[in-house]
Amino acid sequence: MSERAMADPLLDGTGPPGVHAPSWYADSAAPLPDQPELAGVNRADVCIVGAGYTGLSAALHLAERGYAVRVVEAHRVGWGASGRNGGQVSSGLRLPQDRMEAMVGRDLARAAWDIGTGAADLVRALIDRHGIDCAYRPGVIEANHRRRFDRRARAYVEMMQAEYDARALRYLPPEELRQMLGTQAYSGGILDMASGHLHPLNYARGLARAALDAGATIHELARVTRIEPGSPARVLTDAGEVVADHVILACNGYIGALEPRTAARVLPINSYIIATEPLPEHVAREAIAEDVAVYDTRFVVHYYRLSEDRRMLFGGRESYGYRLAADIRDSVRRRMLAIYPYLEPYEITHGWGGTLGITRTRMPNFLRIAPNMLSLGGYSGSGVAMATMAGKIAAEAVAGQAERFDVMAALPSEPFPGGTRLRKPLMVLGMLWFSLLDRL
C-alpha cells in the first residue's frame, strides 16, 4: 500500500469503502437502507460533510427549521467513531469543572458547563422524541486506579454539588465501588447518574432516520475531494457536487487534509474495543452490579460496560495515525483480565478499532472557517453527547443564533506544535510519558 493510502483517514484497514468495521455493533444494529450516492450538480441551503453524530444532528435540526439539507458521507451512516465508540454518554465537558474555571474563568466555564450538561439531556430527549431503540441506560462511574485520587474525587463532588447543584454526582468510597464493580483494581470513584450509555450505531442510525423523516437528504459513498469557498460554496466529490449557501464540516478525527485549520487542531488517535461472548447473568452482575458504564483515571483510559445481551464491551489501548493495529483482541484482552481475571474462560467474539479526534486542551474545536462555513470536532472521547449538541449548535448558528457557538469557539483549542507534521511524534512521546505515570 502506498504512503498516501496509509495516511488516508478513510482507508483504515477495516474493509472496503462502505463496509462497517467488524464490530459487535455492526453485527447487532438494526438495519438502515443504503442512501443514494451523489451524482451531478445538486442545490441545497446547507451541505454537511460527514454522517456521524455531528452531521446527523445538524441535518435533523436544520431540516426541522425548514432548510434544504444534503449530507455527504464517504462511507455509510455512522461508519466512523459514531458507530464504533464505547457508547458512553457523558454529561459535562472533558475536563473537570474546577480546571475549566482556572483555564477560562468562571463565567465562560459556567456557560460551557450548561452546554455540556445540556448535551446529555439532548441525547435522551432525541431518543425519546424519535423513538430511537438504542438501549440507553443511566449511570457512569469514574473509577480511581490509584488510592491517592480518592481525596480529590470526594472534594470535587462536594464542590460540584455546592457550586453547580450537580445532584447527579455521588462520591463512591472504595468499599462501595468495589462491590459495584466486582474488582480490587480500583479504589474510590464518582458515580454520575446524569450520564449513561447506549448502542452507538443504533443511535446514529436513529438520528439518520429522524433527519430523513424531517426532509434531509443523505448521500453515502460520496467522498468529498475539494471544497471551493464562496457564496454559494461548492462541495465536490468524484461523481458530483453540492452548491450550498452554508457548509458544515462534521468530520472529527477523519478530517484528513480537507481543511487545514481544523487538521492542525484535531489529532486523530485510535482506540480499541473487544466484546466477549454473552456472560452468565451472575458473572455479568458481579462485574457491573448496576449496569452502569465505567471509565478509569488512567491517562490511557480503560472504559467498559455490558451490552444488552450481557457481553463485556471493554476498551483500552491507543495508537496514532490512520492505520489500525492488527493485534486488537489479545492486547485489549490482557487489559481486561488485569481488572477481571475471572473473565478468562469467556471467548472474545469481536475486536475492532476506530479513530477519534482529540485537541491539545481536550476542549472541542469549534471554528468559523468562513462566514458561511463551520467546522466542529475534537471531542476527545466525549463525542456521543457533545457531537450531538455540536450539530444542534451548528444549526442554530446557520439560522443566525450564534450565542452558543461563540461560547464553544471561545474555549482554547490551539494548533498542535508543528502543525500536522510534528503533532504525531510529539503526541507519541507525550503518551509514552503519561503511560509511565499510569503505572506509578
Alpha helices by DSSP H, 340-418: 383-398, 403-410
- 141 strand-pairing partners: 191, 294
Tens-binned pLDDT, residue by residue, of the chain (440 aa): 233 333 566 667 677 878 999 999 999 999 999 999 999 999 999 999 999 999 999 999 999 999 999 999 999 999 999 999 999 999 988 899 999 999 999 999 999 999 999 999 999 999 999 999 999 999 999 999 999 999 999 999 999 999 999 999 999 999 999 999 999 999 999 999 999 999 999 999 999 999 999 999 999 999 999 999 999 999 999 999 999 999 999 999 999 999 999 999 998 999 999 999 999 999 999 999 999 999 999 988 999 999 999 999 999 988 876 678 888 999 999 999 999 999 999 999 999 999 999 999 999 999 999 999 999 999 998 999 999 999 999 999 999 999 999 999 999 988 988 655 555 565 555 555 445 554 55
The CATH fold of domain 3-85+201-267+361-431: FAD/NAD(P)-binding domain (3.50.50)
Residue-wise pLDDT tens digits, 235-247: 999 999 999 999 9
Domains of the chain: which residue ranges?
3-85+201-267+361-431, 136-195+270-358
User: What cell was used for 13?
Assistant: 484497514
- 3-state SS, residue 62: helix
C-alpha cell at 200: 452507538
Residues 261-319: pLDDT tens digits?
999 999 899 999 999 999 999 999 999 999 999 999 998 899 999 999 999 999 998 88
| Cα angle 139, 143, 146; round to 5 | 170
Domain covering 136-195+270-358 assigned CATH 3.40.140.10 in the classification: no
What pTM does this model have? 0.94
CA distance 155 to 397: 37
Cα 343 to Cα 366: distance, rounded to the nearest angstrom: 41
